[in-house]
Amino acid sequence: MIYRFTKYINWPDEKKTGDFVIGVVGDTPLYEELKIFTSNKTAAGRPFVIKKFSGSASAYNCHILFVCEDESASVKRIVAKTAGTPTLLVTESEGLSRKGSCINFIVINDHLKLEINKTNIENRSLGIASELLNLGIIVK
């Protein structure tokens, strides 16, 4: 699902050239799954590159940065490190959309839902399509 955000998020012009980089923080099967799934796909004609980062990395140069649940304690530091950059920060732990995450996966009644913090997205100079907003729970 993460790679599909490329269809609904608009990055500033300086991020519209070169490879489309998705970063993954933490040990999660999602890293390998993304590498396999995106191997022959593109985002607006740009090849995907999947990178793995630690929670204590000094920089996160990517378009989308996914922080797995096991690294939730690192989110505050990651938010600070990526502040002001056009990086879509995606998490999967309760309450993180109010702590700087742009999109947060949560489970409600055994269904996967998206919490979307439009303010956090806009503060990163990103645009979001109404189609994605309509699928999520808007958090302020």
Token couple for 61: 């140069």
Q: What is the mean pLDDT of residues 45-53?
A: 95
**Mean pLDDT computed over 65-73:** 94
Residue where the block lists tokens 């269904």: 111
- Closest C-alpha among 88, 90, 82 to residue 122: 88
Contact 97, 107 (CB under 8 A): no
pTM of the model: 0.94
Banded pLDDT at 1 (limits 50, 70, 90): confident
Alpha helices in the chain (DSSP H): 30-37, 75-82, 118-123, 130-135
Tell which wins on pLDDT, 140 or 126: 126
Q: Residue 70: count other Cβ atoms within 10 Å of its Cβ.
A: 14
| Residue 130 structural domain | 2-138
Of 112, 113, 25, nearest to 71 (Cα)? Answer: 25
Phi, then psi, of 93 in degrees rounded to 5 = -135, 145
Q: Give me the number of domains the chain comprises.
A: 1
CATH of the domain at 96: 3.40.50.2300
Predicted confidence (pLDDT) at residue 54 exceeds the cutoff of 90 = no
On average, the pLDDT of the chain sits at 93
Compute the distance between CA of residue 73 and CA of residue 93 in angstroms, rounded to an integer.
10
Per cent of the chain over pLDDT 70 is 100
